[in-house]
Amino acid sequence: MEEVLKIDQVAKQFGRQTVLNDVNITLHRGDIYGLIGRNGAGKTTILKSIIKLIQPTKGTITLFGVTKGSNYIHQLRRTGSIIESPVAVDQLTARQNLIYYSKIHGVVDSNAVDDTLKFVGLDTTGKKKFKDFSLGMKQKMGLAIALLNKPDFLILDEPINGLDPIAIVEFRELLLKLNRTQQMTILISSHILDELYQLATRFGILNNGTIVKEITKQEFEEQSREFIKLEVDNPDLATNVLRKIGCSNFKVINDHRINIYQLDIANAKIASSLIENQVQLSTITREGLNLEQYFKQLIDGMGGEQDV
Ligand SMILES: Nc1ncnc2c1ncn2[C@@H]1O[C@H](COP(=O)(O)OP(=O)(O)OP(=O)(O)O)[C@@H](O)[C@H]1O
């Protein structure tokens, strides 16, 4: 699978502040990589470094196999990005903006403007100027400009901030369609972790400029899958009872706790069977983590605060 991006030991210092610390991220074609981190963790700095708005203090960034010089700038033409807020010309309509940006970006496909407008759903905004667009329309405009040159790699910094729930779903559908139909690679940062979860195939958690955890969606699902937590006085006796009622997928965590990963037996049945067999049961609850809880637990464990 083609390597689209390799960030290798990248560090960035702003004055005395270390903002990025030996960051490593590799993306292959078709990946959707979600970058997660608290305010100020360094997400935007990573994204800006890729498109050369910022020069790292140390390390290398390789884009489509190219690390340096004019060739790198050439490869940047294969990327589209929205970093910080979407930028377009206030006094122009959606169509006029796309015509303007297609000239700037040297887009030669004569259908690109209309195709892109239609794709993002801005083909019916008529004479309305960008300055009068709603936030959702502005975000779509940003996406349209980023997509004009049919990029292979899309870099999105908080693209769904401030969107209403319907616009968020529409935005997600657009990105998934690009990924499925064109194998577009996407690097996206977001604070809306439930949404990021539905989009990304892999997550990188950034804390104080360091990637503290990388996890695929599959690994996350395995680690965070739902289970039944039991607290009992006698785990040996309890496991015998569990086996008798057909429950074999469980793990004894310690001398009073058992996790059951088999969810087809009702809690009431487990509870009554344990009690009937003289096991003292103090807790029986369903547990499982979503991405936000996982992130918070990880960062809390490092002495951070809960501020996604
Ligand atoms: N040009 C700059 N000069 C000095 N410090 C900067 C500059 N750009 C960013 N920083 C600092 O780098 C740190 C990381 O900023 P960055 O914008 O990358 O964070 P972020 O993870 O994107 O945060 P947020 O989620 O709030 O957007 C912050 O402390 C910020 O103040």
Query: pLDDT tens digit string along 21-47?
Result: 999 999 999 999 999 998 899 999 999
Cβ contact 109:94 at 8 Å:
no
Out of 17, 18, 19, 35, give the residue to mutate to test ligand 1, the one with the largest number of ligand atoms within 8 Å of its CB. 19
Q: Report the candidate in 198, 193, 207, 202 with the shortest Cα–Cα distance to residue 293.
A: 193
Are the C-beta atoms of residues 197 and 36 closer than 8 Å to each other? no
Q: Write down the pTM of the prediction.
A: 0.81
The residue to mutate among 44, 190, 191, having the most atoms of ligand 1 within 8 angstroms of its beta carbon, is 44
> Ligand 1 atom 30: the closest Cα is on which residue?
40
Dihedral sign computed on CA atoms, order 295, 301, 304, 306: positive
For residue 180, what is the enclosing H or E element? helix 165-182
The CATH homologous superfamily for domain 3-78+151-221 is P-loop containing nucleotide triphosphate hydrolases (3.40.50.300)
Q: Cα-flanking dihedrals φ and ψ of residue 215, to 5°?
A: -150, 135
Closest ligand 1 atom to residue 42 Cα is 18
**Ligand 1 centre from 39 Cα, in Å?**
8
Provide the pLDDT for residue 303: 62
68: its two tokens: 């340096």
| Whole-number Å distance between alpha carbons of 251 and 149 | 53
What angle is formed at CA 179 by the lines to CA 291 and CA 96, rounded to 5 degrees?
110
Ligand 1 neighbours, Cβ below 6 Å, are: 14, 19, 37, 39-45
Six-digit token string for 267: 């809690």
Q: For residues 213 and 204, give the distance between their C-alpha atoms in angstroms, rounded to a whole number.
A: 6
- pLDDT computed for residue 304 by the predictor: 52
Strands 153-157 and 185-189: parallel
Query: Where does 227-287 sit in CATH, by number?
Result: 3.30.70.100
ipTM over 0.95: yes
Give 43 Cα–ligand 1 centroid separation in angstroms: 8
* CA–centroid distance, residue 85 to ligand 1 (Å): 14
Task: Locate the ligand 1 atom nearest the alpha carbon of residue 46 and give its number.
Answer: 18
What is the reported pLDDT for 166? 84
Distance, CA 42 to ligand 1 centroid (Å)?
6
Cβ–Cβ under 8 Å, residues 29 and 152:
yes
pLDDT tens string 142-191: 999 999 988 999 999 998 887 888 888 888 998 999 999 999 999 999 88
Residue extents of the structural domains in the chain: 3-78+151-221, 227-287
Q: Are 10 and 23 in contact (CB under 8 A)?
A: yes
